[in-house]
Amino acid sequence: MTKSPIGGNRSGRKLGQKVKKGKLKASSRRWLERHINDPYVQRAQLEGYRARAAFKLLEIDEKHKILSGARRIIDLGAAPGSWSQIAAKVTNSSDADPRVAAIDFLEMDPIPGVRFLQMDFLDPQAPEKLKEAIGGTPDLVLSDMAAPTTGHRQTDHLRTMHLCEVAAHFAVEVLAKGGHFLAKTFQGGTERDLLNMLKQNFRQVIHVKPASSRAESVEMFLLAKGFKGRDAAASEEAAEDAAAE
């Protein structure tokens, strides 16, 4: 069971540490202080995860069981690799029998059992390369992709929503029947067309915000559970079109 840090942390490090002023800007110093005093950051270091984001996935899974039974997983926007670490563990992936494919335009240190592609997911060749790398049909597509922030909330929202939409269409293209899709989005409303597409293809579509996602952050996660299968979704769409005529 994944528990939130309570009454401090599990690393033994004292919280409330200050960063000396030195040459740092005030904003940089505040960010660094928040980072080193974040109990999830400290817990990630203690438990061997590359980033605090690991606990977002673990908390979502604790409630929604999206990792249970997953045999192959694709991780979009993977760097630095904490979600890929979890994916490799739950699928028993190994270098000899890789069951996890990951992609990011940033560099990522190797993870045993993870085939990593350093390239932009929006590259037209990326989807096919991921399919080749996974070596089978994935049961789960994860996306922690987010566009670089500009400071303009609406612009950042639209750019990240575009990545979410592209990832969703990719998931529908590759997922096994019964599989799941989880993607980062931002508060501000998910596009209606995207939600309708997901509801047509999945049995349940919800927004979630795990406790490990900072309260001041506008990030949320869009979870689509129980992929109906490409044939079922096509039949349902045909029936709706016929009813509308």
Task: Tell me the binding residues.
Answer: 81, 83, 104, 120, 144
Residue 184 catalytic? yes
49-71 as b/e, with b when 16 or more CB fall inside 10 Å?
Answer: bbbbbbbbbbbbbeebebbeebb
Check if the beta carbon of residue 173 is closer than 8 Å to that of residue 228: no
Calpha distance 127→139 (Å, rounded): 16
What tokens were used for 110? Answer: 């190797």
Active-site hit among 18, 23, 184, 209:
184
Contact 101, 117 (CB under 8 A): yes
Q: How far apart are CA 130 and CA 104, in angstroms?
A: 11
Binding-site residues for S-adenosyl-L-methionine, please?
81, 83, 104, 120, 144
Please enumerate in sequence order all residues whose Cβ is within 8 A of that of 87, keeping only pairs 6 or more positions apart, or say none: 67, 70, 73, 75, 93, 100, 102, 114, 140, 142
Amino acid at 168: A
Q: d(Cα 199, Cα 10) in Å, to the nearest integer?
A: 40
193 burial level (CB within 10 Å; 0-12, 13-18, 19+): exposed
CA distances from 71 to 33, 83, 98, 99, 156 (A): 39, 15, 10, 7, 34
Catalytic residues: 184
